[in-house]
Copies of this chain bind each other. A is one copy, B any other.
Amino acid sequence: MESTQNSITEEHVKIARYAKAMGHPIRMYVLELLSKQSCCYSGDLTEVLPIVKSTLSQHLKELKDAGLIQGEIEAPRIKYCINFENWKEAQDLFRKFLKMDVEGPIIKCK
């Protein structure tokens, strides 16, 4: 079933997907905030972030699509929280990835 040359694994695709979602300062801010203080409303964010609500909505959608956060309707607002299932997966993937070569390479380059 596999194509290409089995170099790129499903793990590379997964971690790249999470990394891509994290690849914007606004989204990193939101993730950090949520992972620190459980939940927040999107209105709280527009007050401190230098973007309009529609742009924020798009960033939140990206984080949602990547699986890192989830929204819960609490009318008339929406409460955003970390999606802890996927968050844990992302943590594990990054930890595994970052564990490598903490002390530098075996063969020092140059």
> A residues within 8 Å of B by Cβ?
3-5, 7-8, 12-13, 15-17, 19-29, 31-32, 35-39, 48-50, 70, 72, 79, 81-82, 84, 87, 91, 94-95, 97-98, 100-102, 104-110
Given contacts A20-B24, A24-B20, A95-B98, contact A109 B79 (CB under 8 A): yes
Given contacts A36-B101, A95-B98, A100-B35, contact A16 B25 (CB under 8 A): yes
A40 → chain B closest CB, angstroms: 10
Cβ–Cβ contact A102 & B91, under 8 A:
yes
- A25's partner among B12, B24, B39 (CB-CB below 8 A) is B12
Cβ–Cβ contact B13 & A109, under 8 A:
no
Inter-chain CA distance A98–B70, complex, in Å, is 18
